[in-house]
Chains A and B, each alone.
Chain A
Amino acid sequence: MKSNRATQEPVWVRYLLLTVGLGFLFFFLGLPLLAVFVEALAQGWPAYVEALKEPETRSAIWLTIVIALAVLPFNILFGVAAAWAIAKFEFRGKSLLITLIDLPFAVSPVVAGLIFILLFGSQGFFGGWLSAHEIKIIFAVPGMILATLFITFPFIARELIPLMQSQGKDEEEAAVSLGASGWQMFWRVTLPNIKWGLLYGVILSNARAMGEFGAVSVVSGHIRGETNTLPLHVEILYNEYNAIGAFAAASVLALLALVTLVAKTIVEWRMKAETDMLNAELPGEKTS
């Protein structure tokens, strides 16, 4: 049962949707990105490469990657736990909980940075204690990680909740009633079901973690070669009339975000290869 009048749109609708969708992406996404690369390459490839060779740019790239990696496990753990509780169980105050999870998005990044200054800055609530114990949070890497955690807090949970909600809980319940333990159920049933949602969440929060400027800028202290992430570095380069350097660094961020997508593609291929193998072994017993 392949092409069917009612499972596929009429040809003219398909073309219309493709045109509208791709047109929208072209104007709102493609052109701006193209413009970034055009600016970055305005003086040719050698100037672009030269701009990226600067040691301060390279240390900024490293710090950006370190922060993104540090944030990831926290976000995955929280995202899966929150989505599990919210999507699979009924309890009072659920909408309130979801809204609280959304809240970090509505907080202006500058304010997000500011609240950590209010907590950990030397005039802040814990400032005296921290400086007495020589612990640096603000204007050091820990503060930048905290601010990034705050900014990327909702991503994975919000990606998983609607997905797990739409999947219902029948499969898990079946697994449990067949005697699976909690972990077995999670690894064998839940995780395979949510893998794409989880991956999208990871990619999104990762991109955002690497691209965040406002919040991190407030807590970083902007020490060159030490607490400068790529987005902060981009701003400094731009302000110094080094547009090539600034846009080159920005293009690196775009490419870093693409790396996670390459990973996604590889995962997809491997999974497809596995199912193909399974199907070859078990002819006639195709899934679905």
Chain B
Amino acid sequence: MTITRRLPLLLAFVASTALADLTLLNASYDVARDVYKDYNPMFQKHWKAKTGESVEIKQSHGGSSKQVRAVADGLEADVVTMNQANDIEFLADKGLVAKDWAKKFPNNASPYTSAMVFIVRKGNPKGIKDWNDLAAPGTQIIIPHPKNTGNGRNTYLSAWAWALKQPGGNDKSAQEFVGKLLKNAPLFAAGGRDATTTFMQRRLGDALITFESEAEMIAKEFGKGEFEVVYPSLTMQTEFPVAIVDKVVDKKNSRKQAQAYLDYLWSAEGQENAAQNYLRPRDADLLKKYSAFFPPVKTFTVDEVFGGANKAFATHFKDGGTFDQIYVAK
């Protein structure tokens, strides 16, 4: 059998994992590397000082839903740090994560947040200020696929929530509005990063809708003077939920360390690290300290407007949901 042929390699691999000290694996979303690259050494130092124990931390990054599917299929991650609540719900459904995971840590188990904003060209030539400007005829928006990417879904839901809040707004008018908005998308990018490249490098579209935190990444690569950030009158507060994978920490006997690793995200150091990576800290004082990065913006959460991430997903993005209705039942 193919497996027995691979035995030497297999043994080598099993041995290498067995010999390591305590190792935590953090399965995370794809652009979180900068956050945890700085955070992991901070935690290692903290934990060593506190307990004398050294912990090795390994990172795995990828698309959020792909990552949780991998965890469900046997990727032995001690903790998951994601950018969509429904991904953690999925693990809870599978029994890998506690059902009440959102209550296990403060702030809905999300140590930091971000907001969906518009990136427009320098000088804002189209005068884009709010969601209705994006839906105006002749305006082109660049977003990733709303059905398949978290970034695209957040945009979709933000526009929907904004339309609901307009005078006389209801689900029907919201769907109509979002339909108009989507007609202004000449393409659906493969992912958040691809949308940025399309907008910045290939110069397509009048506005890019993305996370506030991405704006700084864009500045890093394309230069600060190339674009402006526009905060709409209402937008989604995006959460970055974290959870312990019970099944894995029980097996590896690493619950104590995993708990401490996630707890530390709410410490002063952990919060400051988030702020330095342009993610809004939960700590109010820090938010004030970094107010240059984080101007006040009126936000909603998915729980408030859509009754939870799972429900929002089922209504809008499952096959036959509102997205499909907008596109297919023309």
Contacts and interface: CB of A to CB of B under 8 A. Distances in A.
A135 B6 CA distance: 11
Interface stretch (A44-52, A120-128, A155-163): A120-128
Interface in A169-221: 217-218, 221
A138 interface: yes
A169 B74 CA distance: 50
Given A222-B61, A236-B61, A142 B33 contact: no
Interface of chain B, helix or strand or loop or mixed? Answer: helix
A71 to B, nearest CB: 11
Interface in B137-192: 191-192
Contacts of B9: 70, 141-142, 145
Contacts of A136: 10, 13-14, 17
Interface string B1-24: 011001001100110010000000
B221 interface: yes
Interface stretch (A23-31, A223-231, A262-270): A223-231
B3 A222 contact: no
B60 interface: yes
Contact of A135 (B14, B30, B31): B14
B13 A241 contact: no
Interface in A73-121: 117, 121
B66 to A, nearest CB: 8
B73 A138 contact: yes
Given A236-B30, A240-B34, A223 B58 contact: yes
A137 interface: yes
A223 B66 CA distance: 13
A226 B58 contact: yes
Given A137-B3, A222-B62, A223-B25, A240 B33 contact: yes
Contacts, number: 88
Nearest to A116: B73
A223 B220 contact: no
A135 B2 CA distance: 13
Nearest to A242: B221
A247 B73 CA distance: 31
B75 interface: yes
A208 B180 CA distance: 43
A118 to B, nearest CB: 9
B130 to A, nearest CB: 27
Given A223-B25, A225-B58, A142 B75 contact: no
Interface string B62-78: 10001100101111100
A243 interface: yes
A106 to B, nearest CB: 22
B6 A238 contact: no
A122 B17 CA distance: 18
A121 B193 contact: no
A248 interface: no
B204 interface: no
Given A137-B3, A223-B25, A240 B75 contact: no
A139 interface: yes
A149 B13 CA distance: 19
Nearest to B193: A239
B3 A124 contact: no
Contacts of B70: 139, 221-222
A99 B191 CA distance: 35
Among A136, A139, A145, the one with the most B-chain Cβ atoms within 10 Å of its Cβ is A139
B143 to A, nearest CB: 16
A241 B221 contact: yes
B217 interface: yes
A184 B14 CA distance: 42
A134 interface: yes
Contacts of A217: 62, 66
A195 B235 CA distance: 64
Contacts of A238: 193
Contacts of A121: 73-74
A131 B217 CA distance: 41
B41 to A, nearest CB: 14
A164 interface: no
A141 B193 CA distance: 28
A146 interface: yes
Given A70-B9, A122-B73, A123-B73, A240 B58 contact: no
B248 to A, nearest CB: 11
Contacts of B217: 240-241
Nearest to B196: A241
A140 interface: yes
Given A217-B66, A236-B62, A241-B221, 9 more contacts: A124-B73, A135-B14, A139-B76, A142-B9, A222-B67, A225-B58, A240-B217, A241-B193, A241-B218
9 contacts: A122-B74, A127-B73, A135-B3, A137-B10, A141-B13, A142-B13, A224-B59, A224-B61, A241-B217
Instruction: List 8 tightest A-B contacts by C-beta distance, closest first.
Output: A121-B73, A122-B74, A241-B217, A221-B75, A222-B60, A139-B75, A239-B30, A222-B62
